[in-house]
Structure formats: structure tokens, C-alpha cells
A = this chain, B = another copy of it.
């Protein structure tokens, strides 16, 4: 290291592209651990994660020096270090709003609990849905949002409503104190400073694939046919 960290400095900034890959490494390490592997090289881990080893080593270098030259990485140790860096060693209460088909799928998603995320409430504005119990949690009125956020200290909200309702839901979430939103509704959300929004958009992903697919088919769609 070229410069020692001073006590008052916050931990080194990790580039956004690296942050987005850390969960991938974490999953690859878990898979390796499950298969009984205790040590791995950057080459082996990179392959499991689907990246090249130079990128992996560069990414890990932002966290610290957790490997051993000539040997590799201890799977469990590295796994813990990455988990701690991401923050998934702690418990994250989550609220899901909009319990339609997608909300059901999300509520039942097992990867939630296994990574420190705990669904504390399922909310829906439709009274007909409020009778249901999904994945062992009962669906409650959307109006309970503020009380639930306050009670459980919820910081992360998931929006699985139709597009038309999403902005209102986001506004209410932010007002209630939520500062991170995962949005599945196909609409751009506007939120204030300090609130993070990530978007998952099926339609956009398909369109990106379609674009590349169209290119693959050579001159088929070309307008300059001679």
C-alpha cells in the first residue's frame, strides 16, 4: 500500500463496478465451499464467477490483502470478508409492496433469507389480496407502511406494483424513512438525494437481447440493400 489510512478517513472507496461484482464472488465462494473446496486461486474463483482473473484480483485488492502469494485464497475467510464488506453479515428487514404474480414470486424467493434479507411485511392496496398469506407472511394494507418501517427499522423497500402506482409508493416509502428501493415497475422513479434506487426491468433486458440478435442475423434487417 502506498498510503496508510488515517483514523478519520472512511474506508477506501470501492468502485461501483466492483461493488456490483462482489455478490457474484460471494456466491461463487459459497458454491466452492459447498463442494468442499477450502482454498482456491484467483484463476479458479474467477472462472466460477465468470470474469477474468486480473479483474477479480483488482476487485479484491480494494478490500485488502486477503490472499497468500503462491497459494491462493482461503475460501471461508475470503467469503466472510466479502460478506462483511457488502454488509450481509447483518440483518436487513425488507418490505415488499404489490403482491401480484411478481410479488408472490419475490416473497417466495429463497435467496432472500439466505443472504441476511428478511421479509418483514407484504403490503398491497387491494383489500381482496389482504386476506392472503404468502410464504408464511400475511398481506397487509399498504397504509400500514409507516408503522411497519418504524417498528422494524426497514431501510430497503421492494416495489412490485403496476407502473402507475410505483411513484406514489416510492414517495410514501421515502417519507416513511426507507432509503434504498428495488423497483420492478417499468417506470422511472424520481426520489430525493440520499435515496438509492435500483431497477429490474424485464422488458429492457429483452430489448437489449433483441438488439444484438438483430445484428447477428447479418444483413437481414439492413436498409442499404443494393
B203, A198: Cβ atoms closer than 8 Å: no
B108, A210: Cβ atoms closer than 8 Å: no
A206, B115: Cβ atoms closer than 8 Å: yes
Alpha-carbon distance between A186 and B90 when the two chains are bound, in angstroms: 21
The answer to the question of A111 belonging to the interface, with a C-beta cut-off of 8 Å to chain B, is yes
B179, A196: Cβ atoms closer than 8 Å: no
The answer to the question of A105 belonging to the interface, with a C-beta cut-off of 8 Å to chain B, is yes
A211 / chain B contacts, CB cutoff of 8 Å: 14, 19, 22, 85-87
Q: How many copies does the complex hold?
A: 2
Residues of A in contact with B, size category = 35 or more
A196 / chain B contacts, CB cutoff of 8 Å: 209, 212-213
The answer to the question of A200 belonging to the interface, with a C-beta cut-off of 8 Å to chain B, is yes
Residue of B22, B23, B224 touching A7 (CB-CB under 8 A): B224
Task: Identify the 10 closest CB pairs spanning chains A and B, nearest first.
Answer: A87-B214, A101-B105, A111-B203, A23-B207, A180-B209, A50-B188, A102-B105, A23-B204, A87-B210, A105-B105
Q: Which residues of A contact B (CB under 8 A)?
A: 5, 7, 10-11, 14, 19-20, 22-24, 26-28, 48-50, 85-88, 90, 92, 94, 100-102, 104-106, 108-109, 111-112, 115-117, 155-156, 179-182, 186, 188, 190, 194, 196, 198, 200-216, 221-222, 224, 226
